């Protein structure tokens, strides 16, 4: 079936695992799964990930997209996918701050057993408090995210990866 794929494995010891050395363990998963776990990519990309203003978002998204192209040049699908995830996270986090100035979408803390997982976990959603500056940052990231996601080489490599590893 087309949508069957292995979920992102949160049980691996990412603090000690280098997925450049063990790429076969990487799973694309859904959306941004694992974006803040997978090394060495997290350490390579995260320092450039910023969205406070449109100018910062533009510089950040361009740098992350340049990393995407470097990974592509080196045939590193995991790096490409991680850069894509950071660009996607630039969209979603900017949108969250665009919709909720504090960045808090839900009322109350995340339950201890749900930390690191997205979702409401039974909490009420807070009312919208729109910030147009962050909305512009989200649009900037979205442009680069779509460029990465729609890249023909990325799409081909993703299909090959999923066929080979799940």
| 109 within some domain | no
Is 95 inside any structural domain? yes
Q: Name the pTM for this structure.
A: 0.84
- pLDDT tens, 17-36? 999 999 999 998 888 888 89
Structural domain contains residue 75: yes
Do 138 and 94 contact (CB within 8 A), yes or no? yes
> Taking a C-beta distance cutoff of 8 angstroms, is the pair 8, 33 a contact?
yes
Residue carrying the six token digits 């990519």? 41
Domain count of the chain? Answer: 1
Whole-angstrom distance, CA of residue 82 vs CA of residue 54: 22
In angstroms, how far is the first alpha carbon of the chain from the final one?
12
Asked, for residue 96, whether it belongs to a domain, the answer is yes
Residue 10 lies in a domain: no
Residue 36 lies inside a defined structural domain of this protein: yes
Asked if residue 4 is part of any domain, the answer here is no
**Is residue 6 pLDDT above 70, yes or no?**
no
Span 3-15, average pLDDT: 77
Does residue 55 belong to any structural domain of this protein? yes
114 contact partners, CB below 8 Å, separation of at least 6: 121
* Model confidence pLDDT, tens digit, residues 110-166: 888 877 777 778 888 877 778 888 899 999 999 999 999 999 999 999 999 989 987
Tell me the residue range of the domain where 154 lies: 23-104+125-165
């Amino acid at each position: 079936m087309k949508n069957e794929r292995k979920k992102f494995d949160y049980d691996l010891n990412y603090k000690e695992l280098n997925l450049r050395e063990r790429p076969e363990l990487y799973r694309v998963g859904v959306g941004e799964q694992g974006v803040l776990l997978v090394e060495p990519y997290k350490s390579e990309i995260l320092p450039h990930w910023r969205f406070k203003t449109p100018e910062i978002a533009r510089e950040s998204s361009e740098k992350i997209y340049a990393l995407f192209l470097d990974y592509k040049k080196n045939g590193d699908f995991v790096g490409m996918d991680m850069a894509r995830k950071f660009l996607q996270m630039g969209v979603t986090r900017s949108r969250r701050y665009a919709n909720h100035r504090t960045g808090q979408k839900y009322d109350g803390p995340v339950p201890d057993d749900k930390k690191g997982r997205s979702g409401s976990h039974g909490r009420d959603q807070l009312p919208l408090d729109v910030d147009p500056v962050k909305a512009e940052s989200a649009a900037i990231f979205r442009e680069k995210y779509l460029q990465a996601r729609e890249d023909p080489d990325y799409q081909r490599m993703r299909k090959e990866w999923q066929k080979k590893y799940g």
